[in-house]
Amino acid sequence: MVQPVPINRTPKAFATLAEALRTVRSTPQVHIEEIAAPGRLAPWAVAFSAQVTAEGTFLEDDAVDDLATGRIVVLYDPEAPVEWQGEFRLVSYIRAELEDELAAEPMLGQVAWTWLTDALDGRDCNVAEVGGTTTKVISESFGTLAQRPTTVDLELRASWSPILEDPADITQHIEAWIELITTAAGLPPMPEGVSPFPGRRR
């Protein structure tokens, strides 16, 4: 008797990629967590959120201040859409509260975009079809909320296609993304040789 063909079997390339991504570790200041991935962007996807905090830095007791939040989705389509120029695509969103000095920077958008390109270059990430937008969001409160201070946030949306010799090499791109969100939060990047992934050689 002919055995039925399994439906929606996970492709090996995506399984390898997802397994590598799930070795991600949080750091004392960057909390990484897998979240539900959107189901309509690609046949297969995996997603993570990140929260950057400053514990005990100019705060009382054990208070935790969110400096930046973000999410990244890794998409896989074995048919390699033309607009991707490959089988994989990363889609990122980051939001960070800005200090007054940086919020007044007239070249803020360009500066923020270089954070992304520098992070990718610094991790030797080969990419194609890189694109995105930067947005400055000013929040002012009125009426019963007038006592709240005005805040300025940066939103950085970006997507790119990783060029991978091995699907497991996707970790380089996630390392770059973690560096990006850390920079957006105003914190120094991790020292050279330190990785959020266990057992990864540099």
Q: In Å, how far from its chain's centre is CA 132?
A: 13
Q: At what angle do helices 108-122 and 170-184 cross, to 10 degrees?
A: 150
Is 45 within the bounds of a domain? yes
Whether 131 shows a pLDDT value over 90: the answer reads yes
Torsion, Cα 42 44 48 49, to 10 degrees, reads 30
For the chain, how many structural domains are there in total? Answer: 1
Give residue 150's pLDDT. Answer: 76
Q: Do residues 21 and 171 touch, judged by C-beta distance below 8 A?
A: yes
Whether 33 shows a pLDDT value over 80: the answer reads yes
Whether 122 shows a pLDDT value over 50: the answer reads yes
Q: Do residues 141 and 151 touch, judged by C-beta distance below 8 A?
A: no
Is 82 within the bounds of a domain? yes
Give residue 191's pLDDT. Answer: 52
Range of 122's domain?
12-184
Is 172 within the bounds of a domain? yes
Q: How confident is the model at residue 198 (pLDDT cuts 50, 70, 90)?
A: very low
Give residue 46's pLDDT. Answer: 96
Max mean pLDDT among 56-60, 128-132, 137-141, 197-201 falls in 128-132
57-71, 115-129, 152-166: least confident range: 57-71
Is 106 within the bounds of a domain? yes
In the numeric block, which tokens belong to residue 23?
A: 């070795």
Taking the C-alpha atoms of residue 5 and residue 13, their distance in angstroms, rounded to an integer, is 19
Is 148 within the bounds of a domain? yes
Q: What is the mean pLDDT of the chain?
A: 83
Is 23 within the bounds of a domain? yes
Q: How confident is the model at residue 189 (pLDDT cuts 50, 70, 90)?
A: low
In the numeric block, which tokens belong to residue 198?
A: 């266990």
Is 191 within the bounds of a domain? no
Is 17 within the bounds of a domain? yes
